[in-house]
Amino acid sequence: MTVREQVLRRARGYIDDGSFLRQLADLVAYQTESHPPGRKKELERYCAEGLGPIVSKLGFSVEILPNPLEEHGPVLLATRHEGDGLPTILIYGHGDVVRAMPERWRADLDPWKLKVEGDRVYGRGVVDNKGQHLLAIEALRAILEEKGSLGFNAKIFVETGEEAGSPGLKAFLERHRERCAADVFIALDGPRQSMQVPDITLGTRGGLAVDLIVDLREGSHHSGHWGGLLKDPAVILAHAISTIISRDGRILVPGWTPKSVPESVTRASRAVVIEDAPGALKPDEGWGEPGLSRTEKIYAWSSAIVLASVSGQPEAPVPAVSGFAKARIQLRHTVDVDAAEVAPALKRHLAEQGFTEVEVRPVVERDMFPPSRTDPDDRWVRRVAESMETTVGRPPNLIPNIGASGPSEFFKQTLGVPILWIPQSYGGCGQHGPDEHGLLSLFHDGLGIMAGVFWDIGAETTAKSAGNSG
């Protein structure tokens, strides 16, 4: 058995000996909800009393740094420096979770208490994201226990506001640019597309929203007397929306979709292997941009939906012509669309279509995540993909960017690093709903995959150093 194989066996053994689950149970017990704000003390405890001692035992110096926005939770930054000439890996995670919603969980489950049932491990944060950043940390532990060093410098960056839109994160990175400097960003978060094929995700789509408002008059007026005489704002709004999104789901606003998509992105998107879980939703046939595959629509294109719309009093309708209607449109987009032009483009489009009574108002309620994408041909992508193929016996999916949004671009812009996400959950995990759970089988795989990735980076660095010294 090679040393690499011994490291992978050691890492996977943390599932078998129960040590991984014991640590995860301790972390899940911290009630680290970040939205709405109000759990700052618990977020601080998670860093200082929960995660901090785990990483300090691995030879990391631990700092708990305040958020530039003082009402929000801190950042744990742990550093292990092995040499000035070695590459530095920044390992990202987030210790906060969405609302627990205990009333919606199964009666025999408690969001803050880990429970194992067969292959399933229940608890809030088990996959999003406490269990996943613990996987990366435990993979480092396996290497350190086997040989005493990593062969590279490592920084563990755990924020506590991701579920609230990472408030203060961009300012934090700008303030601590040198402290956070690295050669590559690696994170574990989100679901895999297939139980059989692991993923490397290279970024995220951006997410933003605009409100469409038709405000014609004060109050409502009797429909028997004024119906057919007064303009109906809901009708005007519905027709305006029909010029934004077609009846078959195509985006019709110039500037809301990419003018062109890089060939490497198209190639990677088309090659993604997706495995739908039993009973999972299926895409509606014929919906969305024609000529694109399912994976291209999510990973290389934009999507627009109506998040909500209202006119009158839906909860208690009255026979009256309303004077007001409002809808919120969300756009998810890749780096190939200019976010700053989204609202202006919509204003021009509606004006050209004759909808002068529709006001376009950009939504700014929290930090908006910009889109991010690393080139699939980047050398860090290639070396991590080769490592994963060595471990699992087949190439991983290379996903240019997930369909959702996240903080990737803050790191890419500020630190200038390639972004790699290596998710170890699955689509049915319930990560933002009741009964959130991970799978022991995927944790087992994830420990082996990440131990292999970190081992290979260190081994390559060591080999280069030996060659240079010779």
Structural domains in the chain plus CATH codes: 3-204+371-469 (3.40.630.10), 207-273+297-362 (3.30.70.360)
Q: What is the pLDDT of residue 404?
A: 81
Q: What is the pLDDT of residue 366?
A: 59
CB 403 within 8 A of CB 299: yes
pLDDT digits (tens, 9 = 90+) for 166-204: 999 999 999 999 999 999 999 999 999 999 999 999 999
> Binning pLDDT at 50, 70 and 90, where does residue 316 land?
very high
> Binning pLDDT at 50, 70 and 90, where does residue 367 land?
low
> Binning pLDDT at 50, 70 and 90, where does residue 405 land?
confident
Residues making up the chain, counted from first to last = 470
Q: What is the pLDDT of residue 65?
A: 99
Mean pLDDT, to the nearest integer, of 222-230?
Answer: 97
> Binning pLDDT at 50, 70 and 90, where does residue 365 land?
low
Tell me the whole-structure pTM to 2 decimals.
0.88
- Poorest-pLDDT segment among 47-51, 369-373, 377-381: 369-373
Q: What is the pLDDT of residue 376?
A: 94
pLDDT digits (tens, 9 = 90+) for 322-345: 999 999 999 999 999 999 999 999
Q: What is the pLDDT of residue 469?
A: 57
As a whole-number percent, the residues of the chain with pLDDT over 90 amount to 91
Q: What is the pLDDT of residue 470?
A: 55
pLDDT digits (tens, 9 = 90+) for 239-290: 999 999 999 999 999 999 999 999 999 999 999 999 887 777 889 999 999 9
pLDDT digits (tens, 9 = 90+) for 31-88: 999 988 889 999 999 999 999 999 999 999 999 999 999 999 999 999 999 999 999 9
Chain mean pLDDT for the chain: 96
pLDDT digits (tens, 9 = 90+) for 349-361: 999 999 999 999 9
